[in-house]
Amino acid sequence: MSVTATLPRSEEPSNFTPPEKPAPPAQNVAVTVVLLLVLVAAVWSVIDLRINLATFIDSFHNAIAFVSRIFPLDFPPFLEIVRMTVQTLAIVVVATVLAVVISIPLALLAAANTTPGGTSRTFGRVAIVIARAIPDLIFAVILFRIFGLGALPGILALAFHSVGMVGKLYADAIESIDEGPVEAIRASGGSRAQQIISGVFPQVMPQFIATALHRFDINLRTSVILGYVGVVGIGLEISNAMRTMNYDRGVALALVVLVLCIITELISGSIRAKLMGHEEAKKKGAYGLAFRIADAFSQGWVSSSRTRSTPGPDGHTPQTMPDGAVRTSPPWTLERMRRSAYLGLVLVVLAVSTLVSDISFGSIVDGLRDLPQTLSLFWPPSAGDMLGDLVHGMIVTLQIGLAATLLGAVISVPIGVLAARNAAPNPSVHKFFRITIVAVRALPDLILAIIFIVITGLGPVAGTLALAIGSIGLLSKLLADSIEETDERVQEAIRANGATRSQVFFASTLRQSFPAFVAHVLYQLDSNIRAATLLGIVGAGGIGFYLMGASRVMSFDVVTFIIIMILVVVLLVEALSVWTRKVIR
């Protein structure tokens, strides 16, 4: 029998070598290098754009003068505000509904479990990516040339760009469903349409509605931007006021938009939370009505299309009637009649919104008739004699996106930490910073850009500061959510060993949420580069300035060239962002 003795650490042989740690995967190394390069580029952008204390000091007197010119605020008559608000909401409602209608079939094609083949899936995915990559302002420029002035080009621009986000999230939701109900319907001889209507839609309807509500919030803020290219509503009135330097009227209207965005954000956010099961909704007042409308969509809309043996979302199972017929819809109880009334209310709102939007159906016919001739103006693309300027404008756009993301990320860290329920020192601090985030998120980037242009002058500094504030709103919220979703058992284990509050935070909370925060920052960079292309329309620098200039002088071949430049850059940035986030997670 042999005995093996284990030497104490102090008596180990001098040539003892501890086992080497495995080398990190090549992808992790590559991602680390990419992130460092992005960080260096962002720091360089901040320096090169002269975003520093000296710039703020030089602009201090302009800020004082601007404040003195906006007070007292000049609000329009109340009925005029109501008219503009209703008109803006009507356009956003129609655009969002149209985006949902287009996104559902594209999502079914893009989802692997519902598409009929690889070619269809590729088509669906490519269409969604292109819609997301092309900013709504570019859609508006093209559509205004096709259909002329009015609400229609703005509605279509909002809808087409929204398909990029809505279609992707819808496709992801479809791919995440439980395949059991679909398999049961297929085994019972159900057609593909029956499988989708009765097996897929009931499962994804809450996510569909939540996504549509979130997109409605975004479209409401974007409608202000489209006002600068002629879309009626509050955005157009803000544009007219700012162009004539009536800052007291422009800022007053901007405050109306801010209040409208905050109210919409609170209501739609509560409905989304109810639909996704994150909290118990209050069934009172306007909130209760909104919740019940959401329930009507998520529970009652497929009641008439169920199969013979599959219970519906409300638990109803089809019954065999005395004459042998199979009843596939639930009986008309008081609850079902109430849900149907809510569905009818939604349809009425949509109909009224369509009428208020004042869509000219004659312009649709005329635009489609002249479509070949109009599109010929955009092809072939040409840079004219502006290639150097366009390349420089694209570089400035990238700099604006990088600098804004860096500034937003740095400032959002303390705000996001204090807004997290499990990291804030007390509930009052948590609530205060959550409200602050909601208020910041409601500020449209374009309005901020206009204010900063007045203060700092024309150029990329104004665009960077505007996007930085927008980044603070989103990144702070996402960071707070990530911190609240960390595993509290790990934190409790560290705390039980005598660790202080700060030690628990840095050793557990921050460590768990850091990968998600990096992914959120990369997503924000992707979004900021898209947004930077828009702010040029008001003189905030970047390629957007040249885009609007070429559009105004009707150099549509140059417009196409700029669109291709933006599309290529945005797709490259998105591909890099998606790959990096995938490896990090």
pLDDT tens column, 380-424: 888 878 888 888 888 888 999 899 999 998 998 888 888 888 777
pLDDT digits (tens, 9 = 90+) for 111-170: 888 887 778 888 888 888 888 878 777 788 788 778 777 778 888 888 988 998 888 888
Out of 76-85, 173-182, 508-517, which region has the weakest mean confidence (pLDDT)? 508-517
Half-sphere exposure (CA, 13 Å, Cβ side) for 432?
8
What pLDDT digit, counting tens, does each position of 41-76 carry? 889 988 888 887 877 787 788 788 777 878 888 888
Q: What residue has token string 């999230």? A: 169
Distance CA 248, CA 231 (A): 22
Query: Which sign, positive or negative, has the C-alpha torsion 82, 85, 88, 92?
Result: negative
Q: How far apart are CA 291 and CA 284, in angstroms?
A: 9
Query: What is the set of domains in the chain, with CATH numbers?
Result: 32-71+381-585 (1.10.3720.10), 77-317+332-372 (1.10.3720.10)
Q: Does this model's pTM top 0.85?
A: no
Place of tokens 């330097």: 245
Angle at 168 between CA 165 and CA 169, to 5 degrees: 85
More confident residue, 349 or 12: 349
Burial label for 500, CB within 10 Å (0-12, 13-18, 19+), is exposed
Residue 319 pairs with which residues in a beta bridge?
A: 327
Q: Which of 459, 422, 455, 454 is closest to 540 using CA atoms? A: 459
**Residue 102 pLDDT class (50, 70, 90 cuts):** very high
pLDDT at 305 over 70: no
User: Are 404 and 528 in contact, with CB atoms under 8 Å apart?
Assistant: yes
- Classified as helix, coil or strand, 135 is coil
The 10s digit of each residue's pLDDT in 205-220 is 888 888 888 888 888 8
DSSP string, 341-365: HHHHHHHHHHHHHHHHHT--HHHHH
Range ranked top by mean pLDDT from 330-339, 468-477, 494-503: 468-477
C-alpha 319: how far from chain center: 44
Q: Give the whole-angstrom CA distance, residue 42 versus residue 48.
A: 10
